[in-house]
Amino acid sequence: MDGIKKIIRAIRSLKWYEAIMCVIMLGISVYYAIKPEEGCPQWLAVINLISGLCGIMCVFLTAKVNRMNFPFAMVNTVVFIIYLFYFGIWATFWLELVVYMPLNIISWWRWYKHKDEDDELLAKAKKMSILQRIFVLVTIIGIAVLVHFALSELAGDSWMKFAVNYGWNVTIMQWLDSFIFSIGIVASTLELFRFKEQYSWWIITDIIAVAQYAIKKDPVYTTKKAIYLVEAFIGYWNWNKLAKKNKTNE
């Protein structure tokens, strides 16, 4: 019961504009769950509904450095994995399954151990040094190259197979998928250690994702990723403020 009370308290902390975005997401998700697009199975439309709502609640609360983001993150990860499997988006599929799912649990525990000085539902935010930022950039590029060549061998023509249907350049889409995977690993690790710089990378992946799903004409995921993008900017602002506020960063 205490956990439910904390989630309710976290939801009540949403700003009015976040509540409006949530209602928009709910309306679009429900509409397309009832009347799925042509070629979209009914069960997948319901999956999209769950993913849309849990996904935006996760980013809303993460932007506030609120630990109650992780229950929503776990549900969103599970249902999004099903979506990615269906469309053969393999790099992002493995990112969600192998990286995000365990990191959700580990991060939840670590955030709990490093509570903000003024609000126990919040975690302490930190900032990186210049050398750490350079290391992060090099790591992202290296992982992306490894992932691209590994999936080219292992997944073959099944990787990003849906891109052909939309007239996309498959090679470009595969590289984008690789970088989304790479940035996702690094950014979620930065989230684990509570570094505010994670949001610089989330903004990049959200811009790519909005473009991808808009071209794909997927209304639910385009809306979801657009809200992610808006909230990433808000998150950067909040995390930067908290990083300056905390007297000690453990």
Which residues are CB-contacts of 152 (< 8 A; sequence separation ≥ 6)?
Answer: 159, 174
In a domain, 159, yes or no: yes
pLDDT of residue 114: 72
Q: What percentage of the chain carries pLDDT values higher than 70?
A: 91
Residue 247: pLDDT band with limits 50, 70, 90: low
Residue 207 within any structural domain of the chain: yes
- Any domain includes 125: yes
Cα(13)–Cα(11) distance, integer angstroms: 5
Please tell me the total count of domains within the chain.
1
Query: Is 250 part of any domain?
Result: no
- What is residue 52's predicted lDDT score, i.e. its pLDDT? 82
In a domain, 103, yes or no: yes
Gap between the Cα atoms of 157 and 140, Å rounded: 25
User: What integer pLDDT is reported at residue 209 of this predicted model?
Assistant: 84
Q: Do the beta carbons of residue 57 and residue 22 sit within 8 Å?
A: yes
Say what the pLDDT of residue 132 is.
93
Domain ranges, residue 52: 2-245
Does the residue 210 lie in any domain?
yes
Task: Answer yes or no: is pLDDT of 146 > 90.
Answer: yes
Closest by Cα among 47, 165, 191, 41 to 108: 191
The pLDDT score that the predictor gives to residue 90 is 83
Measured CA to CA, the distance from residue 35 to residue 92 in angstroms comes to 27
pTM for the model: 0.70
